[in-house]
Chain A
Amino acid sequence: NAGVTQTPKFRVLKTGQSMTLLCAQDMNHEYMYWYRQDPGMGLRLIHYSVGEGTTAKGEVPDGYNVSRLKKQNFLLGLESAAPSQTSVYFCASSYSLYQGARETQYFGPGTRLLVL
Chain B
Amino acid sequence: AQKVTQAQTEISVVEKEDVTLDCVYETRDTTYYLFWYKQPPSGELVFLIRRNSFDEQNEISGRYSWNFQKSTSSFNFTITASQVVDSAVYFCALRRTGRRALTFGSGTRLQVQP
Chain A residues packing against B (C-beta within 8 Å): 31, 33, 40-45, 48, 50, 56, 58-59, 88, 90, 92, 97, 101, 104-110, 112
Contact = CB atoms under 8 A, between A and B. Distances in A.
A108 B101 contact: no
Give the interface residue-count category, chain B: 20 to 34
Nearest to B44: A109
A40 B106 CA distance: 6
Nearest to A9: B43
Contacts, number: 56
Interface string B83-103: 000000001010000101111
A69 to B, nearest CB: 20
Contacts of A41: 104, 106
Given A42-B93, A42-B105, A107-B44, A50 B100 contact: yes
Between B44, B45, B46, B93, the greatest number of chain A beta carbons within 10 A of the residue's beta carbon is seen for B45
30 contacts: A40-B9, A40-B106, A41-B104, A41-B106, A42-B4, A42-B91, A42-B93, A42-B104, A42-B105, A42-B106, A43-B91, A43-B104, A45-B100, A45-B101, A45-B102, A48-B100, A56-B100, A59-B101, A88-B43, A90-B45, A92-B45, A97-B100, A101-B50, A105-B102, A106-B47, A107-B37, A109-B42, A109-B44, A110-B43, A110-B45
